[in-house]
Amino acid sequence: MKKLYLSLSEKDVVKCALAYLLASLFTFVPALNSLCDFDRDRNSYLVAAVAVFFNPAKTLGGIFEAVFFAIVAGLYGCLVGIASMSCAVWFNNHDLRTLGHVVSVLWCGGSMFIVAYAKAKMNKPTFNSACTLASIIIFITIVREGSVHLGVFKLDKIFQVTKIILIGVGISFLVSVLVWPVSASKKLKKDIEQTLDGFCLLLKLLTKAFLIDNVNYTDESVQRAIASHRATFTSLITSLKQARLEIHNRGMQRRFGLYEDAVQVLQRLAQHLSSLRSCCGIELEMIKDMDNHNSKQTVPLTPTRTSGVHFDDGNLHRRPSAPAEEEEYGDITILLEFIQYVGPHLKSLAYTCKRTMKDLQGQFSETRQGPPDFPQLYQNLEAALALFETSQSRAVTRLYKRKTIIDHYDGRANEEIFLIYFFAFNLREFTKELERLVDVFGKISDSEERVKETRRRRGWWRWLCWCCYGCVDELQEPKYRSKTTKSPIGFPEHSHNLFDTIQTPKPKTKWQQLQLRVWKRLSWFRQFEVKYATKAAISAAILSAPAFIDYTRETFVTYRGEWACISMIVVMAPTVGSTNLNSFYRVFGTLFGSYLAFIVTILFPPNAAVLAVTGFLIAIPCFYILLNTKYNRMGQFILLTYNLVALSYKEKNVLDIARYRAVAVGTGVLWGLLVTTYVWPYEARVELRKGLSMLFVNMSWLYKKLEAVFSASPEKPANRTETSVMMNSDDGDHLNESAREFLDLELFLQVSLLKLYDLLNETSNEPRLKGPFPQTSYREIINSCQNILDKLLSMRIAVTKEEWYGAIRRDFIIPINKERRELVGNVLLYYYTLAAALQLKTPLPPYLPPAEQARRRLIRRIRELPVVKRRIIYGNDVHYIVYYAYALVMEDVIRELEKVGNIMQELFGCMGGEEFDLFFTTDATSNDVGNEMGDTQGEEDNVIHATDPDTVNIGADLDRVRNETDN
């Protein structure tokens, strides 16, 4: 028989069901029930409920973090319960019973404010579960027990509920650690291995596609590689954070800085692949443009080089080209001939990079024979890079000496050749980054080998002492730390009150300074987290108030009103869409779970063994829904309701319990839904527009900083030779401070885009009476923003090189400052116009900033530069990179901006609409009449000016008379 094999997701489901079974035994097994003093209490079902909220399907690092949060939440709930009960007893002893009830309600609301604020601020699944546990303790101890035992100080109830919570947490922790434990460190290594595998495939396909080697971008493997490439940095960072929490793994703790460096290098490799992918799309459309313009020309293509490459990717969308009289077209013959010369060298370097990444994968493979030879890998990359630069320089020189190339030049710059240069430049940068990855992996391997050698040399007891107390003597190894330091995000504080302006002047007096200081402090209350926490606190206080009113207390206790309070906190989310979805899942899960529990208890009358096994079987599909589907909360709520009803079989009629549960949960869900919808609603669609608006402003700031890099005079001009076809990077600290700052800005924008995607997905849960939300249009806008960010990244890679200073700035940047200023101003105006349109939702003007026309004027001016004309023949200069950064990258940025502008005109409308052009259109007769009238008027003006020159000064005379009269 074949061994039963379970995947990782299936093992997680079984682990969760097993934890639920063990937790339910504290209800079904009398010995465990009495051991924990649950036999006199109705809260034993909470142990299983905690196992549902706090499931063990986590890595070791994740479960350590979750346990820490759970302990903090338990202590917080316990302290709040003690403080609330102390206040109630004090007021009751001083005959202030009513005031004591009010204070208890305030304690309930105030504690929920802190829980809700922390939940919205942290926004982590493990922390959210801990917040749920804290709310359970608070509502049971303050609302239910506090209302029943008014004015009586009973710590046993508080400690009992806290003990129940900790037992449920402990069961989940033990199951996670002892049953199929998942190491976050191993998961990190597996993610690195998979990332390198995706990089290998993507680099191979991109190189073939760029060299027109008959690659189809709709292939399933390519799409998987692109999807894996896009999700690289998010999955790696998650695994890295969880690996850091594995405090028992001293090896990971000592080498965490190296792994952090490795992940950062992988992120930069992913960014370089984005630039390579952009080059492929640009090349495809350039070929199409040249084919359309030169349709009558026969182009000889070799069998392995065909222009029939098909790209199916959002990043490769391009607008139809400009007319021939506005843009000069290249010749596909020269492009293919250039590719034929430099293609073998590109392939060779790409192959070396691919083989290196394959060897690096072996370090983290479970079946590896031994570590790769890292010095040899590094030397291979160095040799391949040096050979690439030398051979490419010779090939380009030989190519440009051919008469056909000179004939094709005809006095213009060849954009198709610049594109190949920039692809080679990005591939070189990819190789240099890969060298750094080899160096980091080599340090990791050396550290691991030293530990293994010492472990073999020493006895097991010395190894145990080292694990417990740290390394001593020769085991002492340096603790690597990442060289990169977090710098503050360089975006300005975009607010509606920019200081030192007429509207918000700079304070001059002490009183004005005090007022401004108070205003800044109060601005904290405008944060959406504060608003969410405030309405959660007020809602909790109002919903729990009936427990402290004599007239409603009995009904509240009978229907278990604390369930309503807990349900309200669970379903209330910062956004309206999430609350709507949680409410639906909560109601459906409660009804289905109650019905399921009723059927089970009818089929199997009170039988502890049968109910325990049945609960285990029901938990399996519920946890599968929770862990592996998008309806995760539904599975959780079904199991929670089944757990409460089925495990309360000893108390009274199960049907009554199910009815009470449905009424209480329905009340809490309805109250939370109403508050979220009508009190400070945080609608996903509104926040999506605001977030997109801020994203455009931030991207404009990033673009401005890119322009500022080479606009300022350099303090230390770069002393570099200009004869190399590629740019030389600094051999010391490979990332200067400017590049580090740009990396932080780009990462911030990337995270912002991910948040916008999340908001976009939540808009489907917010119904609108005026029609469905246009998700498709907003998705296209976000995709265009992603494309713009990729293009700005391509520009950043070039402009943050030291070679941009000195001679390049003198010969290339300063002569075109006038045209460049016009282009930058139009692009910034475009960003601002789109950002304002998203905020206002008003019709856009029919004409948007003429950024494309400014770019074309800039390109024509660049072609006239002496440095371009003088060195274009030799094809051996870094100015190709400069030209590409301006000509092609900015063309794509403007194209995406125009695409977004057209989408917004469709979304919000256009001033004048289709009638706008009719305002300026007349028929032929009117044109003739108008021309005759214009000519006649022109002749009369000429006669007046010719015959009576004094009439020119009539206006000046009238002004002088008026001034004399006034005086």
H/E/C letters for each residue in 67-107? HHHHHHHHHHHHHHHHHHHHHHHHHHHCCCHHHHHHHHHHH
Helices 737-762 and 684-709 cross at an angle (nearest 10°) of: 160
Interval 785-806 mean pLDDT: 75
Does the pLDDT value for residue 813 go beyond 70? yes
Lowest mean pLDDT among 218-227, 476-485, 559-568, 665-674: 476-485
Q: What is the pLDDT of residues 489-532, one digit of tens each?
A: 556 555 566 677 777 788 888 888 888 888 888 888 888 889 99
Does the pLDDT value for residue 378 go beyond 50? yes
Q: Which of residues 475 and 807 earns the better pLDDT score?
A: 807
The answer for residues whose C-beta is within 8 angstroms of residue 879's C-beta and 6 or more apart is 808, 811, 812, 867, 868, 871
- b/e string for 715-735 if b means 16 or more Cβ within 10 A? eeebebebeebbbebeeeeeb
Q: Distance (Å, rounded) from C-alpha 67 to C-alpha 60?
A: 10
Q: How many CB atoms lie within 10 A of CB 48?
A: 29
Q: Distance (Å, rounded) from C-alpha 94 to C-alpha 103?
A: 14
Residues constituting the chain: 967
State the number of CA atoms in the 13 A half-sphere of 739 facing the CB.
Answer: 16
Lowest mean pLDDT among 81-85, 521-525, 797-801, 855-859: 797-801
DSSP 139: I
Q: How much helix, strand and coil, in percent to the nearest 5, is found in the chain?
A: 75, 0, 25
Q: 522 burial class (0-12, 13-18, 19+ CB within 10 angstroms)?
A: exposed
Q: Distance (Å, rounded) from C-alpha 455 to C-alpha 464?
A: 10
- Residue 449's pLDDT is 74
The residue with tokens 């799409």 is: 223
Bridge partner list, 844: 910
Q: How many CB atoms lie within 10 A of CB 354?
A: 18
Q: Which of residues 513 and 152 earns the better pLDDT score?
A: 513
Q: Distance (Å, rounded) from C-alpha 710 to C-alpha 163?
A: 63
Lowest mean pLDDT among 145-159, 368-382, 683-697, 869-883: 869-883
The helices-and-strands tally (H runs, E runs) of the chain is 36, 0
The answer for residues whose C-beta is within 8 angstroms of residue 473's C-beta and 6 or more apart is none
Q: Which of residues 837 and 328 earns the better pLDDT score?
A: 837
- Written as six digits, the tokens of 252 are 């990971």
Interval 425-447 mean pLDDT: 87
State the number of CA atoms in the 13 A half-sphere of 745 facing the CB.
Answer: 25
- Residue 150's pLDDT is 62
Does the pLDDT value for residue 232 go beyond 50? yes
Instruction: Give the residue among 879, 880, 883, 876 at the shortest CA–CA distance from 725.
Output: 876
The answer for residues whose C-beta is within 8 angstroms of residue 118's C-beta and 6 or more apart is 127, 131
- Residue 486's pLDDT is 41
Indicate the SS3 state at residue 373: coil
State the number of CA atoms in the 13 A half-sphere of 793 facing the CB.
Answer: 28
- The mean predicted confidence, pLDDT, of the chain is 76
Interval 290-296 mean pLDDT: 57
Confidence band of 453 (pLDDT split at 50, 70, 90):
low
Which pairs with CB-CB distance under 8 Å and at least 24 residues apart come from 363-368? 363/441, 363/444, 363/445, 364/189, 364/190, 364/192, 364/193, 365/193
Q: 12-16, 333-337, 556-560, 804-808: which has the highest mean pLDDT? A: 12-16
- b/e string for 453-468 if b means 16 or more Cβ within 10 A? ebeeebeeeebeebee
Interval 606-616 mean pLDDT: 82
CA distances, 617 to each of 157, 285, 381 (Å) = 32, 57, 56
Q: Is domain 685-726+736-919 given the CATH code 1.20.58 in the classification?
A: yes
Q: Distance (Å, rounded) from C-alpha 883 to C-alpha 890?
A: 10
Q: What is the pLDDT of residues 877-909, one digit of tens each?
A: 555 666 666 677 888 899 999 999 999 999 998
Indicate the SS3 state at residue 30: helix
Q: 346-360, 862-876, 894-908: which has the highest mean pLDDT? A: 894-908
**Domain coordinates in residue numbering, the chain:** 8-181+527-678, 185-245+249-475, 685-726+736-919, 927-966
The answer to whether 84 touches 104, Cβ cutoff 8 Å, is: yes
The residue with tokens 């313009």 is: 293
Q: Which of residues 214 and 566 earns the better pLDDT score?
A: 566
The answer for residues whose C-beta is within 8 angstroms of residue 770's C-beta and 6 or more apart is none
The answer to whether 760 touches 775, Cβ cutoff 8 Å, is: yes
DSSP 730: P
Q: 440-449, 479-488, 714-723: which has the highest mean pLDDT? A: 440-449
The answer to whether 431 touches 353, Cβ cutoff 8 Å, is: yes
The answer for residues whose C-beta is within 8 angstroms of residue 706's C-beta and 6 or more apart is 742, 792, 795, 796, 799
Q: Distance (Å, rounded) from C-alpha 498 to C-alpha 506?
A: 10
Instruction: Give the residue among 652, 651, 650, 637 at the shortest CA–CA distance from 596.
Output: 637
Q: Distance (Å, rounded) from C-alpha 654 to C-alpha 611?
A: 14
pTM: 0.79
Interval 667-690 mean pLDDT: 91
